[in-house]
Chains A and B, each alone.
Chain A
């Protein structure tokens, strides 16, 4: 969907091959491409222009080395520049005397309440005793939402029943934390616009009251150019200590991370990557830089595979493969897991378009329907047929085709594919067996 930066630069530098140095002219064209790439990734305009000035200085006069092509060289300079801006991961701040207070602030809909739940779970898993409290007395059912979240993650929530002033609520939470020996209070605040003077003032008051050790700005990864203004204003008023970037499980490039870091200096401390409460991760600057530059995100792909694949099922499958007992049922599991990873185009999109993948068609259309049909065919079989495909004769094939809304040809094709796979697995299994035998001979196992 997006042109990646390497591709853009390759075009720019086509004419450069064979020259000893990057010239100003080439550089201008390259910087233009970089600028568009960063803007497409939602990095704010003033931040882009400042970055470009740096990159220009570093690139000018850079010698074209033999090891790297000029486009790779420039990409490296850009990458390093962005990494430098994002900085290294930073430690979380706790109070010397508990309870520590962490304040979560941000615009409406950035994901504060869900993130509060995720953080509580994360803290509990890291040996803390957190309690959550909502000071959102404005949005309908906001406090109810946090209470339900807390219940789902089995962590305590200070309800503040009968209290309707944020300051009164947090005072109650503070008392409760001391009584029950909670060591971190997570304060979920109402979403607000950075230009809403009254509500921003309310946050300052909460800050004074609580002396939080962390003031985390919860920001949507899909945020566009406005990120510099909203984050800048929150920072000016409150002094942010960190950023929690949410909704990174979508396909947003997340350039806002750079903008926010630039205007606030606050490091990203966590990223939200899903709707489940364990979908919270530490921040890896190199991953987001690859993402912003559209260079493929192999690490995320690996993680996605690991997350989607059911470990238990995978082990069972390995066992079956060893015994060469691969059935149609296992085949269906495989199809399901592939489908669960999401649109295959998106999965392929995570791969860098270099090396053997460089010539992959850009808008590769994969027929997801085919997988759907395959699954339907197997679903239309009886349990007996699934465990032993040999019983599937002509009349059964007709029935299966009718049941799955496909044709006998498609059923035949699936059975052929399955048999082919089974054959390969048998070969693999016996090969492994032989290898093990050889290992024994050599005294290796």
Chain B
């Protein structure tokens, strides 16, 4: 985005290389001779692949399904060697993840309203800060809406990010009704000429009935002010999350109508493979990947690079 001027923005590949190098150097992660060319297709190979996929948090079900498909192909003699089989597996994974990209900006709504939701501690506020910075770089006037009125100092944290990114912020006091903050934020965006409003919501476990209902109320408020809002609901998912990620995606989709995922903390050693299981079951695309704490540590998702990283 906006790479016509200035240096091109770093890609997911660049970012992962940085962090993977770190990993390799420090933990001496084994990048084994797994699947080097010439190796034949045998049961041991499948065991190794299974281990890789499970260790990347894809989950038993998704892993089994992927490998069953490959086994069938192998029995038909489709693969000359291990390398070919690996390519086929990567292709299957990438196909699962390459979902029709809804172009949220293209529907022309103004302001475009983005809700950012998720369980506690996944990095919602930080992600919003980075998103705001991104939008600012693209020259799109943005308003942040501090609707996490529950967590201590959540509003102050978002304020710092608004300052860093140089965008407007609408806030009320801690403890205020989040739907009222949404109302204020959207009204202010309509009055001004903001193009995008990003709503920060309090972290909530997807099992908490009343809190999920609160999200629904915030959505209704948004829709009253801007028809069709929210246009995008981003679920922020921590890459270290295991199988519970699927339950999170299910519940947030049911209650808040999630349209895409932001996968955070991918600069560690966690692989974030649960997004494959989520894509398989719910068809939710990953939109962005978070790779650090700096404002520019948010890059667009890129399926082939992500798939490669699963096997590193």
A residues near B (Cβ < 8 Å) are 1, 36, 39-42, 44-45, 107-111, 113, 138-142, 144-149, 152, 193-195, 197, 220, 222-227, 229-230, 233, 247, 249-253, 255-256, 275, 339-340, 342-343, 346
Tell whether, in the assembled complex, residue A230 and residue B240 are in contact, meaning their CB atoms are under 8 Å apart: yes
Q: Tell me which of B185-193, B217-225, B263-271 binds A.
A: B263-271
Say whether B23 faces chain A, with CB atoms less than 8 Å apart: yes
Tell whether, in the assembled complex, residue B122 and residue A109 are in contact, meaning their CB atoms are under 8 Å apart: yes
Choice from A108, A233, A247, A253 contacting B27 with Cβ under 8 Å: A233
The docked-state distance in angstroms from the alpha carbon of A197 to that of B27 is: 11
* Residues on B with beta carbons closer than 8 Å to the beta carbon of A1: 247
* Residues on B with beta carbons closer than 8 Å to the beta carbon of A110: 121
Tell whether, in the assembled complex, residue B244 and residue A193 are in contact, meaning their CB atoms are under 8 Å apart: no
Tell whether, in the assembled complex, residue A224 and residue B242 are in contact, meaning their CB atoms are under 8 Å apart: yes
Given A144-B153, A342-B207, answer yes or no on A253-B240 (Cβ-Cβ < 8 Å): no
Tell whether, in the assembled complex, residue B205 and residue A145 are in contact, meaning their CB atoms are under 8 Å apart: no
Choice from A36, A108, A346 contacting B265 with Cβ under 8 Å: A108
Q: Size of chain B's interface in residues, with CB distance under 8 A?
A: 53
The docked-state distance in angstroms from the alpha carbon of A148 to that of B241 is: 28
Tell whether, in the assembled complex, residue A343 and residue B240 are in contact, meaning their CB atoms are under 8 Å apart: no
Cβ of B258 to closest chain A Cβ, rounded Å: 17
The closest CB in chain B to the CB of A36 belongs to: B60
Cβ of A367 to closest chain B Cβ, rounded Å: 14
Interface positions of B from 157 to 186, Cβ below 8 Å from A: 157, 159-161, 174
* Residues on A with beta carbons closer than 8 Å to the beta carbon of B119: 222, 247, 250
Interface string of B246-285 (1 = CB under 8 A from A): 0100000000000000000101111100100000000000
Write 12 A-B pairs (CB below 8 A) sorted by A numbering. A40-B59, A42-B242, A109-B123, A109-B238, A111-B120, A144-B157, A147-B153, A222-B119, A225-B242, A226-B239, A251-B206, A275-B150
Given A107-B268, A109-B122, answer yes or no on A253-B26 (Cβ-Cβ < 8 Å): no
Choice from A144, A227, A249, A250 contacting B156 with Cβ under 8 Å: A144
Tell whether, in the assembled complex, residue A193 and residue B54 are in contact, meaning their CB atoms are under 8 Å apart: no
Interface positions of B from 124 to 166, Cβ below 8 Å from A: 126, 129, 150-154, 156-157, 159-161
The closest CB in chain B to the CB of A251 belongs to: B207
Tell whether, in the assembled complex, residue B161 and residue A346 are in contact, meaning their CB atoms are under 8 Å apart: no
* Residues on A with beta carbons closer than 8 Å to the beta carbon of B245: 222, 224
Cβ of A109 to closest chain B Cβ, rounded Å: 3
* Residues on A with beta carbons closer than 8 Å to the beta carbon of B208: 342
Interface string of B203-247 (1 = CB under 8 A from A): 001111110000000000000000000000000001111111101
- Enumerate the 6 nearest inter-chain pairs by beta-carbon distance, A residue then B residue, closest first: A224-B242, A109-B121, A140-B160, A42-B242, A145-B153, A226-B270
Given A39-B54, A226-B268, answer yes or no on A250-B205 (Cβ-Cβ < 8 Å): yes
Tell whether, in the assembled complex, residue B269 and residue A194 are in contact, meaning their CB atoms are under 8 Å apart: yes
Tell whether, in the assembled complex, residue A343 and residue B209 are in contact, meaning their CB atoms are under 8 Å apart: yes
